[in-house]
Structure 1
Amino acid sequence: MTKHLLILGAGFSGRAIGDVFRQAGLTVSGTTRSEDKAGALRRRGIEPIVYDGGTISGALAADMARTTHLVQSIAPGRDGDPLFRAGMPAIPALMPRLEWAGYLSTVGVYGDHKGGWVDEETVLNPVSARSVERVEAEGCWLGLGKASGVPVAVLRLAGIYGPGRNALRNMEEGTARRLIKKDQVFNRIRVEDIGRSALFLAERHLGGVWNITDDEPGPPQDVVGEAARLMGLPCPPDIPFETAELSPMARSFYGENKRVSNAKLKAAGFEFRFPNYRLSLAELHGSGRWKG
C-alpha cells in the first residue's frame, strides 16, 4: 500500500517537505486555512484539505486514516497544539497506520544564551509566549512517541529562507535593512534542507529532538551585505538597533542571542545542501530562484 504524508499546515516549510516526500514516492496531502490557497497546493502535487485547526472534517479524518507519515507545522497558540486539545480523539485512533511523525518547532525554545552555543541537550529557557507554547507542544508530541512507540521527531528550525523569501528579494524590493546590535548572531536554514532533513529522519524512523540549522550562525547584517554584493547594489546603511523602528515581534527576536549546533544531525549522517548563507545566496542568485 502506498505511503502517504499528511502535512498539517502546508506553508513555506510544509510545501518544501511535501516536495521531497513526493520525490521519494509518497503521496502527499496538506491542510490550508482557505479554499483560496488550495489551487496552489494542488498545482504543486499536494492534495489540499481545508482545515482551520479546529474541528476535523470528514475529508481530513479520511485522509488521516491512510496517513503513514505526518508533519505538524501549525503553531499551537494559547489553547495548545490542535491535535492535543480537550475533546480531540487520540492520534493513534485518528491515524492507525502512522509510522513516523515530525513536529516543526523553533530554536526559540532555547531562549537567550548571550551568544553561547546550545545543542539538543541544553536546558530550555523560552522567553517569548510563543516559544513557551512551543515547549508545551513539543512535550505533547514527544510524549505521544513514548506512549505509542511511533518515532516522533521534533525539528527545531532556525530562521527560514529560500526561493521567494530571502535577502536578495529584500534588496530588490528596497526592504533590506542592516540592523546593528553588538555581538548579535542568528542561525538560519534553507527551506529545501528542512524538507531533506525531514525525509532523512523519516526514512530512518528517527525520533527525538533535532536542531535543523546550517553550519554558520552569524550577524544578520552580513547576510544583507552579501546579498547587496551579489546583486551589484549599494549596501543599505547601518542602523543602530537601539534607534531602529521595529515591531514588538521583530524586536523580541533580537532579545535572544545564541549559536545553535547541528552536530547531532550531521553525526547521524545528514549532509546539508546549503551549509552556509553565502553558498545558498549564490545558488539562489545564479539560478534566478530567489524571486520565487
Structure 2
Amino acid sequence: MTNTLLSFGHGYSARVLSRRLAPKGWQIIGTTRNADQADSIRESGANPIVWPGERPSLDGVTHLLVSTAPTAAGDPVLAELRKEITARADQFSWVGYLSTTAIYGDHEGAWVDESTPPAPTAERGRWRLRAEEEWAAIPSLPLHIFRLAGIYGPGRGPFSKLKRGGLRRIIKQGQVFSRIHVDDIAQVLEASMLHPKPGTIYNVCDDEPVPPQDVIGYAAELQGLPLPPAVPFEEAELTPMARSFYNENKRVRNDKIKNELGVRLLYPNYRVGLEALMESDGLT
C-alpha cells in the first residue's frame, strides 16, 4: 500500500519533511493559500493544492499533517473538514498536529516537559491549545501533537540580518529560549510516522535552551562581524508579538523524542546548528 500524506499548510517544516519522504515512494499533497508557492511545493516533492479554493480530497490518504495556524475562530482545517475527517478517522494511520511550546506559558526559567499543565499567556498559545483540544476531541483519530520550539534552518538564520546590521542583542536578565533546527523537526515527524503512538504529545526542541543574545553573538563570531549592540529589554522597541515572546521564560525538555522515538538530534545545540547553516547558506 502506498503511503499518502496530505499536508495542510505545506510550509517551511513540511517541505523539509516531504524532501525526506518523497524519495522513499511517498505520495504527498500539500496545501497553500498562495498560488505563487506552487512551484516551491513541487520542488519539495509534493503536489500543490491551493486551499481554500480547491477542496482537498481525503480519498486514499493514509497520513495527515496539520501546520496551519489557528485563529480566534479555531482551527481552519476543522472549520471546513471536521465532519469528513471525523467520519474517516479510522482510515488514517497517523495524524500529526504541529503546535508550539508557547502553550506552556511562563515558568520563570524552570524546566517543563509534556506532563506540565498548559498555561498559555500569549494569544497565539491560547489559540494553539484550543486547536490541540479540537483535534484531540475527534474519536478514534490517531493524533500525535508536536510542540515546536523556535524554528531555524537554511534561509532562516541570523546571518542575513547580521550583515544588514539589523540585529540587536536584547538583554533580559535570566531569559532563555528553546529552539529547533528544521531538519530535526523532519526527522522527529518521520520517526513518529514509523512508530505511531496515538494520543502522544512530543516536545520538539534541542538540548540547550540559552539566552537569545548568545545565539546572535555566536553568529557574529562565525562571520567575523562586530558584536551587535546590547539593548536592555526595558528600552527595546519591539512589536507586541516580539515582546510577548519575552514574557514567557522556560526550558523545554526533549527526552521523550529520544526515549520513545529513538531520535538522535542532528543539531543538539545552537552552535552546531549555526555552523551547519554557515555552510548550507554558502557563507563559509
Shorter-chain-normalised TM-score: which range? over 0.9
Residue of structure 1 equivalent to 2:91: 97
Following superposition, the deviation at residue 253 of structure 1 comes to: 0.3
Residue of structure 2 equivalent to 1:252: 244
Segments of 5+ residues of structure 2 without an aligned counterpart are: none
Q: Could you tell me how far apart the structure 1 residues matched to 2:32 and 2:98 are?
A: 16
Q: Could you tell me how far apart the structure 1 residues matched to 2:244 and 2:281 are?
A: 32
- Give TM-score, length-normalised by structure 1: 0.91
Following superposition, the deviation at residue 245 of structure 1 comes to: 0.8
Residue of structure 2 equivalent to 1:283: 276
Q: Could you tell me how far apart the structure 2 residues matched to 1:9 and 1:27 are?
A: 16
Residues 1:112 and 2:106 are matched in the alignment: yes
Closer, same or farther: CA 261–290 of 1 in aligned 2, 3 Å: farther
**Given the alignment, which residue of 113, 118, 127 partners 1:124?**
118
Paired amino acid for 2:162: M
Q: Could you tell me how far apart the structure 2 residues matched to 1:162 and 1:226 are?
A: 15
2:137 is paired with a residue whose SS is helix
Q: Which moved more, 1:186-195 or 1:41-50?
A: 41-50
Q: Could you tell me how far apart the structure 2 residues matched to 1:19 and 1:86 are?
A: 28
**Given the alignment, which residue of 163, 183, 189 partners 1:192?**
183
Root-mean-square deviation over aligned CA pairs: 1.8
Residue of structure 2 equivalent to 1:270: 263
Q: Could you tell me how far apart the structure 2 residues matched to 1:8 and 1:88 are?
A: 13
Following superposition, the deviation at residue 143 of structure 1 comes to: 2.6
Contact kept, 8 Å, 1:187 with 1:213, in 2: the verdict is yes
Residue of structure 1 equivalent to 2:160: 169
1:34-91 deviation digits (Å, cap 9, x = unpaired) = 2111112112221100013xx7x34x12xx2121111101011011112333784231
Closer, same or farther: CA 70–210 of 1 in aligned 2, 3 Å: same
Q: Could you tell me how far apart the structure 1 residues matched to 2:282 and 2:233 are?
A: 31
Following superposition, the deviation at residue 290 of structure 1 comes to: 6.9
Q: Which moved more, 1:279-288 or 1:176-185?
A: 279-288
Contact kept, 8 Å, 1:65 with 1:97, in 2: the verdict is no
Paired amino acid for 2:226: P
Following superposition, the deviation at residue 223 of structure 1 comes to: 0.3
Q: Could you tell me how far apart the structure 2 residues matched to 1:290 and 1:91 are?
A: 45
Q: Could you tell me how far apart the structure 2 residues matched to 1:2 and 1:290 are?
A: 40
1:5-59 deviation digits (Å, cap 9, x = unpaired) = 111001111211222222433111111102111112112221100013xx7x34x
Residue of structure 1 equivalent to 2:19: 19
Residues 1:233 and 2:195 are matched in the alignment: no
Q: Could you tell me how far apart the structure 2 residues matched to 1:261 and 1:244 are?
A: 29
Q: Could you tell me how far apart the structure 2 residues matched to 1:289 and 1:23 are?
A: 25
Q: Could you tell me how far apart the structure 2 residues matched to 1:287 and 1:254 are?
A: 29
Residue of structure 1 equivalent to 2:195: 204
Q: Could you tell me how far apart the structure 2 residues matched to 1:86 and 1:228 are?
A: 46
Paired amino acid for 2:229: P
Closer, same or farther: CA 289–188 of 1 in aligned 2, 3 Å: farther
Residue of structure 2 equivalent to 1:68: 62
Contact kept, 8 Å, 2:16 with 2:44, in 1: the verdict is no
- Give TM-score, length-normalised by structure 2: 0.94
Residue of structure 1 equivalent to 2:136: 142
Q: Could you tell me how far apart the structure 2 residues matched to 1:198 and 1:222 are?
A: 28
